[in-house]
Amino acid sequence: QVQLVESGGGAVQPGQSLRLSCAASGFTFTNYGMHWVRQAPDKGLEWVAVISYDGSIKNYADSVKGRFTVSRDNSKNTLYLQMNNLGPEDTAVYYCAKLPSMKTMTSWFDYWGQGTLVTVSS
Q: Which residues bind other proteins (CB under 8 A)?
A: 4, 35, 37, 43-47, 59, 61, 95, 100, 106-115
Q: Rounded distance, CA 86 to CA 67, Å?
A: 8
- Which helix (H) or strand (E) segment holds residue 12: the answer is strand 10-12
Which residue's CB is nearer to other proteins, number 104 or number 121?
104
Least distance (Å) between residue 78 CB and other proteins: 17
Which residue's CB is nearer to other proteins, number 1 or number 75?
1
Question: Please, are residues 27 and 35 in contact by the beta-carbon 8 Å criterion?
Answer: no
Which residue's CB is nearer to other proteins, number 107 or number 119?
107
Least distance (Å) between residue 108 CB and other proteins: 4
Q: Rounded distance, CA 70 to CA 14, Å?
A: 20
Least distance (Å) between residue 13 CB and other proteins: 28
Q: Rounded distance, CA 66 to CA 26, Å?
A: 32
